[in-house]
Each structure stands twice: as structure tokens, then as C-alpha cells.
Amino acid sequence: MGAQRNRLKVYPNMGPQRSSRKDHPNRRPPSLKCLLDIDSGHRQAHSSWDHDEALTLISYCSYIYTFNDPSESPSQHDHKRDKLINLLSIIKSWKKSVPLGILPPLFTMISVNIFRPLPPPNAACIHSNLPEDDDLVATPAAAWLHLQIVYDILSRLIISLEPKVLSEYIDHPFILRLLTLFQSEDPRERDFLKNVFHRIYSKFLSSRSFMRKAMSDVLLNYVFDTEQRHCGIGDLLEIWGTIINGFSFPLKEEHKFFLTRVLIPLHRPKGMQSFHKQLAYCVYQFVEKEPVLGVAVVKGILRYWPRTNCPKEVLLIGELEELVENMGLEQYKILALPLCKQITKCLNSWNSQVAERALYIWNNEQFVKMASEAIDDVLPILVKGIESNLRWHWNRNVRELTKNVKEMLEEMEPYLYSKCLSQIDRSTYEVEMRQIQRWKRVEMAANVNQIIKDSECRRGDVRRQEVRAIQNW
């Protein structure tokens, strides 16, 4: 026991001991300001570490892998992807307080990664007839493993930073270089580009006019440079669709100019089927905002009507049907005759799909209402086409649909239909009589030529006989 007491005396401070306010009467608890200062110090130290770590990651990620070099290993590709993911997580942790000093190397790294030479486009991607074919023939970008994260970083910066800060890096040359990337065959990259472009357009108010003009130039080059190939026309039109949706009424002349000089000529290219859905949506919004524009749109579509492209004809008939539903009586009076002429040509088409689509349009009440505004001019042309289908068309289904349309028109205008039918019969009789007379004249001319030829042959025989008689004598 004595030894234990001596040990306790020798080591008086050993073991856990609690301090109490009685032992330290002058000690006070830490204040809130002190705690905040300590937390701020920890945050500054952590932020400083993130800053240095981010610069290291940016430096590493600025190196580009081609994915075609045999000296590159998959582990190197995965390592860069991990670095990019770490960089993205650091940027997300900063939220809206991204250090300004890190932006120059960060945007340099982004530019080095995404702005690259694109491979020549695949012909199958350009000439695909349906929008759904894009996923089947698309060529995925080899570097998408890295590009996806780089686009995420760019999107995060656009969301987090103010336009005043971003304008130093996202300038007009940067926007033009983004537009060139829409030629990529990888639909995943074009989807990210659409999101980035949307965010830039919504945030940079001062650059909106420039961005609209730049996109219009790309579309015009595609329309009038027939040798140019472009996979991103549909994506650009999708962006335009959201922009047009925000146009106020009345429309500015600049916007009407875009409709007449860019959107309407886009109905001309052979590859229109691949972006027709987006194109029709843009045009539809213009007509919905100002129905008067429907006249120029319909006449423009009729001007660029295809002659040998049947799938394109089917799409255009559907677009015309949608446009008619948004127009008024004044536009109906102007468009009834030219529109019904074209529909009549289509229902007489030997392609059964085109003929059926043109006949189905008569189930639309608005289209029938439009035709009734100029029924005296429309019905003679329509009756002639219907009767021709009933007599000569090879497809049974087309003949049945034509019969249904005929019954509808006879119920709507019985007297006028019978009058048109009698005129057609009379004109058909006159045409047949003219043909008979023409053939009679041809036969008479042939008989006269034969008589002349026979007389010349007989005259030649007589002369030869006389020559022989003289020679014999």
C-alpha cells in the first residue's frame, strides 16, 4: 500500500482527470465567433487543397488520347476518366463559388478535349430516310468515355457562374466552334451539345442574336450547298423550336425572314425525311402565331414538291394537313385551288402509299371546309381525278378509298358533282373523237404515201423495161 502511494505521488498527472469550473474559475466557454473562425479556417485550408488538387487534375486531363494509338492502354484511358470524375466532383462541391483563377486552365482543358477534328460523315447517316434510322447507323465517338464528363463539367460551369464571368471564355468564336461539333455522328454528343447550347442561349441575352444568325448560316449552307453532309440539322431545328416558342406576337421581320428564307427552303433537300419532324414543328409554330403566314408556307412547300420521292410526298401531305387546321377563311380562299390540285395529283399517284395518304386527308373536316370555299373551281379537278382512279388505278384499296371520297362529295354537292361528271363525259367524248379524227388523218396520209410510192415504183419499172428494149435492139 505504501508503494502504491509513492507511485501516485511520483506520477500525480497520470490517468484521465476532469477539469471543472471550480478548478478554473476564470475559464469561459468558446463564443460563436470563435467557432465560426475555426470552421472558416478549416474551410479555407480545404478549399486551398481543392484548388491545388483541381489544378493538378486539369493539367493531367489536358492530355488527349486518340484511342487509335497502339501504345495507349485501356488502363490509361480509365485513369484519365477517374481524374475527370474527381475534377467534376470538386467543381460540384464549389457550387457557385468556383475560384476565378482556375477558370483559364479549366476552359483550356475543355477546349482541348471537345474541339477536335471530326471524321468524315458516314453516307448511311446522311441518307437515312427516317429519324429512327439515326441510332442504327450512328458511329459512336471513340473518346466518348472522356467527352461525356468534359461536357458535364462545361454544363456545370454554365449553370454555376454568372454570364459576366463566363463571357470572357464563352465568346463568339467558342460558340461557332460548338456549332461545328453538331456534325458529329454520335447522337449522344449531339444531345449534350443541345443542352449546352440551350443553357448558353438562355443565359447570354446579349449573344442571342448572334447565335440565331450562326445557326441560320449553318442551315442555309446545308440547303444551298448540295454536296455538304450534316448529321445535326434535326438537332439545330430542335433548338430553334424552343426559340420560336418564345417569340412574342406580332412577329418581328427578322423572324419572318427566317421562316421564308431558311425554314421553307429546308423542304427541298433529299435528306429532309431525317429532320422533317423538327422542321414541321418549327413551321407549325409560326403559322400558329400568325395564320397569315400559312399562305407563304403552303405555296413554298408546293414549290419544292418532290417528283420521284414518294416517302417525302407522304410526309409533306401530313404537314399540309396540320397547317390547314391553323388557318382562317381568308387563307382558305387563296389556297383552296392550288392545294387541291396538288392533292388530286397525289391521289392519282401510282404509288399506293401516296394515293392513300392523299385520300385520307378528306377525312379532315378543316380540309373539306377549305375546299368548300372554292368548290366551283376545285370540284371539276377533283372529280376528274376521282373518276380516273375508279377506272384505271391498279390498287384495290385505293379504289375503295376513292369510292368513299366520291360518295362524300356527291352528298355534299350532288348537283355540281353530276354537272362536273357530265362535263367530264363530254370532254372525254370530244377527246376520243379528236383522237379518232387524228388517226383517220394519219391513215389517209399513209394511204396517199403508199399510192405515191406504188406509182413511183411502176414508173421505175417502165423505164427499166424501155432501157432493156433499147439495149437489145
Q: Strands, E, within 24-156: which ranges?
A: none
Confidence check: pLDDT of 31 > 60: no
* Neighbouring residues of 88: CB distance < 8 A, sequence distance ≥ 6: 149, 152, 153, 156
Give the other-Cβ count within 10 Å of 446's Cβ: 10
Confidence check: pLDDT of 262 > 60: yes
Which range, of 39-53, 249-263, 339-353, averages the lowest pLDDT?
39-53
CA proximity to 408, closest of 365, 370, 355, 353: 365
pLDDT for the residue numbered 181: 94
Confidence check: pLDDT of 37 > 60: no
Q: Which SS3 state, helix, strand or coil, does residue 33 take?
A: helix
Q: What is the dihedral of CA 430, 432, 433, 434, to 10 degrees?
A: 90
Q: Which residue has the higher pLDDT, 22 or 181?
A: 181
pLDDT for the residue numbered 429: 58
Task: Provide the pLDDT confidence category of residue 71 given band limits of 50, 70 and 90.
Answer: confident
Alpha helices in 275-328 (DSSP H): 276-289, 294-303, 310-324
CA proximity to 270, closest of 327, 331, 229: 229
Distance CA 184, CA 190 (A): 7
CB 417 within 8 A of CB 409: yes
pLDDT for the residue numbered 202: 93
pLDDT for the residue numbered 471: 73
Distance CA 257, CA 247 (A): 14
Q: Which residue has the higher pLDDT, 101 or 316?
A: 316
Q: Which residue has the higher pLDDT, 142 or 380?
A: 380
Q: For residue range 318-332, list pLDDT tens digits in order.
A: 999 999 998 988 999
Going from the C-alpha of 410 to that of each of 138, 407, 413, the distances in angstroms are: 51, 5, 5
Distance CA 365, CA 351 (A): 25
CB 184 within 8 A of CB 116: no
Q: What is the DSSP letter of 261?
A: I
Confidence check: pLDDT of 82 > 90: yes
Q: Which residue has the higher pLDDT, 30 or 57?
A: 57
Give the other-Cβ count within 10 Å of 192's Cβ: 22
CA proximity to 158, closest of 201, 215, 115: 201
Q: What number is the average pLDDT over the span 162-180?
A: 94
Task: Provide the pLDDT confidence category of residue 96 given band limits of 50, 70 and 90.
Answer: low
CB 170 within 8 A of CB 115: no
Q: Which residue has the higher pLDDT, 412 or 455?
A: 412
Q: What is the dihedral of CA 363, 364, 365, 366, to 10 degrees?
A: -150
Confidence check: pLDDT of 466 > 50: yes
CA proximity to 154, closest of 144, 143, 169: 169
pLDDT for the residue numbered 73: 83
Confidence check: pLDDT of 359 > 90: yes
Which range, of 109-123, 134-148, 178-192, averages the lowest pLDDT?
134-148
Q: For residue range 399-428, list pLDDT tens digits in order.
A: 999 999 999 999 998 898 888 888 877 766
Alpha helices in 95-207 (DSSP H): 103-114, 123-126, 134-137, 144-160, 163-166, 172-180, 187-203
Which range, of 13-22, 63-72, 263-272, averages the lowest pLDDT?
13-22
Name the range with the highest mean pLDDT among 81-85, 270-274, 431-435: 81-85
Confidence check: pLDDT of 30 > 60: no
Confidence check: pLDDT of 361 > 90: yes
Task: Provide the pLDDT confidence category of residue 337 given band limits of 50, 70 and 90.
Answer: very high
pLDDT for the residue numbered 197: 95
**Placement of cell 449552307 in the chain:** 221
What is the rounded average pLDDT for all residues in the chain?
83
Q: What is the dihedral of CA 200, 204, 206, 211, to 10 degrees?
A: 0
Q: What number is the average pLDDT over the span 236-261?
A: 93
pLDDT for the residue numbered 469: 73
Q: What number is the average pLDDT over the span 418-439?
A: 76
Going from the C-alpha of 9 to that of each of 3, 4, 12, 301, 454, the distances in angstroms are: 10, 9, 5, 106, 158
Which range, of 28-32, 184-188, 402-406, 465-469, averages the lowest pLDDT?
28-32
CB 134 within 8 A of CB 276: no
Distance CA 71, CA 328 (A): 67
pLDDT for the residue numbered 132: 46
Q: Which residue has the higher pLDDT, 117 or 126?
A: 117
Task: Provide the pLDDT confidence category of residue 47 given band limits of 50, 70 and 90.
Answer: low
Task: Provide the pLDDT confidence category of residue 138 given band limits of 50, 70 and 90.
Answer: low
CB 143 within 8 A of CB 119: no
pLDDT for the residue numbered 3: 42
pLDDT for the residue numbered 43: 46
